[in-house]
Amino acid sequence: MSFSGFNLPLALHTALEKQNIKTPFPIQKEVIPLALNGKDVLGIAKTGSGKTLAYILPILTKLNFFPDSKNRHPQVLILVPTRELAQQILEVFKLFVDPNRNQSKVLAAFGGTSINPQMQGMGEVKILISTPGRLLDLVSSNALKLGGLQLLVIDEADKLLNSNFKKELDDILKLISGTVQKLLFSATLSLEVQKLNQLYLNKPAIIQIAQEEEKTELIKQSAFAVEASQKGPFLRYLIKSKDLKQVMVFTSSITTADKVADKLRKNGVDALAVHSKKSQQARKESLQDFKEGKINVLVTTDLLSRGIDIAYLPFVINYELPRSPKDFVHRVGRTGRAEHSGEAISLISSEEHHHFEVIQKKIKQKIELQDISGFDLHGY
């Protein structure tokens, strides 16, 4: 099945072709026709399953058919748990929205930054992507009203409910008419998500996409006990002394990714940082340069642990551990594909030892923690 099977505008088909997106993912096959028909949907699918396009395409298709709204009355609201996800979704919208059409104005609002520019931008917004706290701030300051809302998306509902957003989410949903179409997405069908479904969704279609777990048994794994202050020199030692090519390095934050890439470049290693603060175009170009061997090291957050298309990635290095054992499996699973061997290396500080033990138990795999005292890191 191709996207031509959906009743999408020609402009969206053109944008899909431009992005070389030809075949819908399972979640897209199921959700798009239901969303276009006005149904409420509860979609259970792992991160990286393609759910963002499963709601972006119906939103942009239906937008021109929604009743005209006043200023500061968005027609579509997308609630997300983090600013990083809000920025990622905004970048995907930019790939499909015609910038010359004001009726498609999309904005992202989140905390951790001044609210004033976001308040000023609410005038003509049609599609708003927001974290719950900042949305309530905008509503309470009269910068935004939810009376004209036609469609609500709650993305990563399980993370929203696990991040102490439950009261804020309840407060927001009480402000929204029961007749508004609602699309709720979650990686798991937890008890909290089921309660949210029962309270706020209207006879939803429940779509559950099963995904095969990525396996790490065929990937060579090693781990080194490295204090935080030694991680930079040891990383550079590994890459330079072993002449590693095509290395993906994972960090737990955007700030660390930038610092690691900067230090690598200063020490003569071709490296770039790729994360949600980079534009979609910049990320795309960096990934292409990495695939073509123009860049030797790509430093990233979990933004690239899922859904990337690299036929042969020989090395993955966990500069810092992810919070979730599943994210560890996704990171490591970037290597050892297409019948090629792969190697995953983890740098474990003393603060991470316990978490590393938890990860090993979860993945049912023992990885020996090696001492680095015998390595000469002078000059690295």
- Report if residue 45 sits inside a domain: yes
- Report if residue 214 sits inside a domain: no
Do 70 and 125 lie in one domain? The reply is yes
Predicted confidence band of residue 332 (pLDDT cuts 50, 70, 90) = confident
User: What was the pLDDT predicted at 113?
Assistant: 84
Residue ending a domain, choose from 175, 208, 241: 208
SS3 (DSSP) at 36: helix
- Report if residue 166 sits inside a domain: yes
Q: Is the pLDDT of residue 334 over 80?
A: no
Do 253 and 146 lie in one domain? The reply is no
Full residue range of the structural domain in which residue 48 is found: 3-208
- Report if residue 379 sits inside a domain: no
pLDDT in tens, 214-248: 555 568 899 999 999 999 999 999 999 989 988 99
Q: What total of structural domains would you count in the chain?
A: 2
- Report if residue 215 sits inside a domain: no
Highest mean pLDDT among 42-46, 52-56, 334-338: 52-56
Do 277 and 226 lie in one domain? The reply is yes
Do 78 and 194 lie in one domain? The reply is yes
User: What was the pLDDT predicted at 99?
Assistant: 59
Q: What is the pTM of this model?
A: 0.66
Do 21 and 154 lie in one domain? The reply is yes
**Mean pLDDT, the chain, whole residue set:** 87
145 and 72 Cβ atoms separated by less than 8 Å: yes
Chain-centroid distance of CA 63 in Å reads 24
Q: Give me the DSSP letters along 308-359.
A: ---S---EEEESS--SSHHHHHHHHTTSS-TT---EEEEEE-GGGHHHHHHH
Do 151 and 242 lie in one domain? The reply is no
* Phi, psi (rounded to 5 degrees) for 318: -85, 95
Give the C-alpha distances (Å, rounded to integers) separating 298 from 220, 271, 274: 20, 6, 7
Do 237 and 200 lie in one domain? The reply is no
Residue ending a domain, choose from 208, 237, 270: 208
User: What was the pLDDT predicted at 232?
Assistant: 95
Q: Is the pLDDT of residue 359 over 50?
A: yes
Residue ending a domain, choose from 208, 240, 272: 208
Predicted confidence band of residue 284 (pLDDT cuts 50, 70, 90) = confident
Better-scored residue on pLDDT, 215 or 205:
205
User: What was the pLDDT predicted at 102?
Assistant: 45
Do 15 and 115 lie in one domain? The reply is yes
- Report if residue 256 sits inside a domain: yes
Q: Is the pLDDT of residue 100 over 80?
A: no
For residues 183-209, give the mean pLDDT. Answer: 88
43 and 51 Cβ atoms separated by less than 8 Å: yes
Do 147 and 226 lie in one domain? The reply is no
pLDDT in tens, 293-310: 899 999 998 766 554 556
pLDDT in tens, 136-149: 999 999 999 999 99
CATH number assigned to the domain comprising residue 317: 3.40.50.300
